[in-house]
Structure 1
Amino acid sequence: MTSTDEHSPSIRVLVVDDEALARRNLTLLLRNDPDIASVTECGSGQEAIEEIRRSRPDLVFLDVQMPECDGFDVLELLGADMPETVVFVTAYDTYALRAFEAGALDYLLKPFDDARFSRTLARAKEKLARYAPTQHRSISKIAVKSRNQTLFLNVSDIDWIEAASYYACIHIGEATHILRRTLQELEQDLDSRSFARIHRSIIVNLDRVRGLELQDSGEYEVVLNSSTRLRLSRRYRKCIQERLAELASGR
């Protein structure tokens, strides 16, 4: 999010929906907010992918059901270019769990009232302010609650992390710790030089990667030093190969 003075609008929003009326309703609500710098509309998933890669919006309101390329396809195809903050918008509540697993901040169920929209936008603003580039610092420890105690985990000890409903499962050796945060939120706190997504629901510590193995199916698996095997999504393959090559060369 672009840093501005407190009176200047700073949030760039993209609204993605194949229905023009739905896009218009969201756009009108957004333009009433003084913190919104711009609102762009896209009428298809493919158009949204191109626009997100071109303009890097701060906040995306993304319809789930669209022909040819739905909301989940958009995020899968974006891979590492997935926006910082995404809100799914749909008339069906059956996709809620999958939306949060995909890293969505919120899930707006149509029809929604102005109060519900305002709460969602407020949450988005809070997240964007929290992870503004000028404020971001990668963390060295993560606090997790375990029974009647709080454990402080060294981030450098983490092998891999996976999304599980509204939680993130942090794997360290044979231990698994549960944290009530989405994978996308957690990713913002991790050092991008050491951690990377290999799947929409998996982040790995690159220092723990032994190598990549091609399977008979034509897909790759990420093999960790612990011999754990994790699926490498095709959308992240090129990025991971480049990152591992950089680490191997010491760059």
Structure 2
Amino acid sequence: MPIYRSIIIDDEVLARGVIRTFLQTDPSINIVDEAGNGAEAVIKILQHRPDLIFLDIQMPEFDGFEVLTEIWPHHQPFVVFTTAYDQYALRAFEVNAIDYLLKPFNEVRFYQALGRVQERLAQQAQPRIETLVNQLITEQASQPRGAYLRRILVKETGRMYFVNTDEISHLDADGNYITLHTENRSDRNAGAGLERHTIYESLTSLETKLDPADFVRIHRSYIVNLNYIAEVETYFNGDYIVKLKNGQQLKWTRNYRDNLKAFYAKSM
């Protein structure tokens, strides 16, 4: 989960406390600092360069709009205005504020604003599809003929991203849909951080693109990363049970028994 940096700016201590309390229930927002007047806000924004600021309008030194005028040539965070005055609403949206919270606001209204913020932050963080595709084309073109995939492009509704092949513990297929099972490398022995990513391709096709020194077919529906195998046990009728380091178990069927040679070679 991405963590977004925020600063709370308000000359009222109690008002800052309310926002702080609401934000502390959301692990995706990290409060890096607070400011009690406009001049202090400018300094702290340029120092921390937050993704998001909660900005009061009427404050000593600089008002909220003057704060934005000072920082925008150098840094442009997303802005949620928090004020007791409704006459600034039109001007607030003219400077592309995400929301305008009129004090006193309740928790429900605050989380509505926060939802809009997170939507915009996620859109900003998501690389453009064209960029990802061009990266993949460039990467594949730079590899020698016959080189194996190091990353796999995953397409989901509204976004695309890469999955590193060395983070895939195993793959399973359902028709032409493949699920990539991944975990963070630091969690490899802990069974934590497991994730699933779905792509559209046949398992047989993808198998030819994966390094056989690391990935072997163990079942008509499974490919396993040898680096994630903890042990292999004999089972019935010539089959085997593969136990992964993350605690998951897969069946290695007798039809793919010849691929055990790769496992033995990796173990030596």
- Larger C-alpha radius of gyration, 1 or 2? 2
By relative contact order (CA 8 Å, sep 6+), the higher-ranking structure is: 1
